[in-house]
Amino acid sequence: MALTANQEVDRLVDQELRQYGLTASAHVFKGGFVGLAIDGYARAFVAGDLFLGLAYEEGDNTSGADGDVKVRVFTQGDFELAIASLSITDLGVSIYASDDATATLSPDDASYIGYVVDVVSSGVGIVRLQTGNLVRGQSYTAVGEVDCETGQTPSSVVLVPASLNSNGMVVRSAYAVVTEQFAGSSQDQGIVTLQDSDGSSINITFTAADAGADAVDDAILNGGSDNTLNEAAAGEALAIIPAKKGLKAVVTQATSGGSPAGKMQIVVETIAR
């Protein structure tokens, strides 16, 4: 009902620190990654958790019930982290966590926590934290490169981590850019398919032309049956990423018969539902 008197509303001045109740038996250490457990309480980060941030302090709820102990967490900011295999060329790459102490370049069995804003040295980077899910209507643009030649890597790359996608996403636009020419007059066509994290196609494909027709910086457009939002007409099905699933680009037909055999950079823009 409408107010009939003045009221006091708490204002959280500090935009970096937030406080979360810990799940029963949880123990969070200062400087560790913190995740959201399925029961809605915080815990030391486990791969697949929604990322809540970096622990500002220790929180020990090993003897308590859900929420008995609270922990303060940095939800934003730039932090220097050890990241195996990080190199000077990795500025801007996505970073994932596989447990409360391990930051990694690999999205396999890990969850997205932010991206590199500076490389301090080999294996050490400054990571800008990105916490929580995307809110409804928020856009997310991802770029990833695959090598279409038989036997080469990466033949698959994660574009949207599942940990960002609580309610599903609409693909607004999707295209590929040739980053290495597809050479060889008799080589097979390279085909890249967009799939959810379970391996189900969302019916967006990118097919290289025969006979080396694709030159560096040429565009390859979606050849699938569904449409992105930018291309769709009324009544047509859209390309949808199901809730709680990620998006990856996978080489589903490799190239052969020429050298070089071609690479594609996939660019996808999504909107959270």
Quick: pLDDT tens for 15-43.
788 999 999 999 999 999 999 887 889 99
Q: Judge whether residue 214 has pLDDT over 80.
A: no
**Last-in-domain residue among 27, 45, 74:** 74
Q: What is the mean pLDDT of residues 208-234?
A: 81
The pLDDT of residue 58 is: 96
The residue among 172, 170, 168 whose CA lies nearest residue 244 is 168
Domain membership flag for residue 3: no
* Residue-range definition of the domain harbouring residue 52: 17-74
Domain membership flag for residue 2: no
The pLDDT of residue 2 is: 93
Count of the separate structural domains present in the chain? 3
Q: For 113-146, what is each residue's pLDDT tens digit?
A: 999 999 999 999 999 998 877 778 889 888 889 9
Q: What is the mean pLDDT of residues 82-105?
A: 93
Q: For 87-98, what is each residue's pLDDT tens digit?
A: 999 999 889 999
The pLDDT of residue 213 is: 63
Percent of the chain with pLDDT over 70: 94
Q: Judge whether residue 212 has pLDDT over 60.
A: no
Q: Judge whether residue 243 has pLDDT over 70.
A: yes
Q: What is the mean pLDDT of residues 94-104?
A: 93
The pLDDT of residue 125 is: 97
Strand partners, 55: 73
More confident of the two residues 259 and 249: 249
Statement to judge: residues 49 and 161 lie in one domain: no
Statement to judge: residues 166 and 100 lie in one domain: no
Statement to judge: residues 194 and 114 lie in one domain: no
Domain membership flag for residue 5: no
The pLDDT of residue 210 is: 62
Q: DSSP assignment of the chain, as one string?
A: ---SS---------SSEEEEEBPTT-EE-TT-EEEE-TTS-EEE-BTTSEEEEEESS-EE-TTS-TTSSEEEEE-S-EEEEEBTT--GGGTT-EEEESBSS-EES--TT-EEEEEEEEEEETTEEEEEE--SPPPTT-EEEEEEEEE-BTT-S-SEEEEE-GGG-SS-EEEEEEEEEEEE----TTPPPPEEEEEETTS-EEEEEEEPPSTT-PPTT-EEE--SSSB-TTTPPTTPPBPEEPTT--EEEEEEE-B-SSSS--EEEEEEEEEE-
Amino acid at 190: G
Q: What is the mean pLDDT of residues 64-81?
A: 95
The pLDDT of residue 126 is: 97
Q: What is the pTM of this model?
A: 0.72
Cβ atoms 226, 121 nearer than 8 A: no
Strand partners, 18: 73
Percent of the chain with pLDDT over 90: 56
Statement to judge: residues 187 and 257 lie in one domain: yes
Cβ atoms 145, 272 nearer than 8 A: no
Domain membership flag for residue 208: yes
Statement to judge: residues 207 and 112 lie in one domain: no
Domain membership flag for residue 12: no
